[in-house]
Amino acid sequence: MPIQGLRFQVVVTMISILVCGALIWNVGNAGRWSQAAASPRASNAPKEIQAPPLPPGNPNAQEPATPPAAPPPPVDSTLVYKVKGEGNLVALTLDDGPWPEWTDKALSLLARHDVKATFCMVGQQAKDHPDLVRKVVAAGHGLCNHTMTHDINLKKRSPDEMRGQMQQTLEWIHKASPGTPVRWFRAPGGNWSDEVRQTAASLGMGSLHWTVDTNDWQKPGLAKMLENVHGQLGPRGVILCHDGGGERSQTIAMLERIIPELKAAGYTFVIP
């Protein structure tokens, strides 16, 4: 072989070796670069493609619903004649108000003798005299529903009419004194029926009657009213009299006498 051909052969071989070496080096490093490219550090990732951190908990979870309020305890529809407790307890109740002049006089008298009473209010009167409703409540007395119009024939009314008489009264009392409890209902004239009592109970009110009728609405005179109280009253009794429905000077005079007398006899005045 001529020398020139031999040299050419050597050059071609060396070039082939260099090319092969370069290819082998590139293949060996290609894996490292592709791995790094596939798993870049989070800190080196572009800011705009980094996902924001998730808030604690489930971001799609809804706020739990507020549990419904517990229903009020059922009210007994049994007709109540006497107050609960032991000993010589007595409850004083005043019907048909609030009434201008006479409710104020009754409140002043009760405050002087440190006695709490229950005022059985007519809804129309509460509507017309909300200031007197608030005075009764502010003095710490109890409230009783006595129908919207003092309906003597309540037990003969339809269920809707019966309920309306009670419900409207509650609404006017609560409009005058929001949130004030009205724990009792009294049927005008004491004309009760099962349906009257059950309707009152469905509105959260017990049915309150009496054991002593002073008969003051007929204005029989002081002596007769005192006789009625002493003749009918026993332990845990409920006295019926009136601060509304008309002129009540005889009632005020009777209360001025009977309250000190009953206290001296060992009676304690309570709210049913």
Q: Looking at the annotation, which residues are catalytic?
A: 95, 242
Return the C-alpha torsion angle 182, 188, 193, 194, nearest 10.
Answer: 0
For the record, the structure tokens of 190 come out as 């004491």
Name the phi and psi angles at 242, rounded to 5. -135, 140
Count the alpha carbons within 13 Å of 257 in the hemisphere toward its beta carbon: 14
Amino acid letter, 233: L
Helix, coil or strand: residue 237 = strand
Helix (H, G, I), strand (E, B) or coil at 82: coil
Are 233 and 211 within 8 A, CB to CB?
yes
Q: Please enumerate in sequence order all residues whose Cβ is within 8 A of that of 39, keeping only pairs 6 or more positions apart, or say none.
A: none
Would you report the helix, strand and coil content of the chain in percent, each value rounded to 5?
50, 10, 40
Pairing of strands 268-269, 206-208: unpaired
Is residue 95 within 8 A of residue 242, CB to CB? The reply is yes
Q: Which residues pair with 119 in a beta bridge?
A: 94, 143
Strand residue runs (E) in the chain: 79-80, 89-97, 118-121, 142-145, 184-185, 206-208, 212-213, 237-242, 268-269
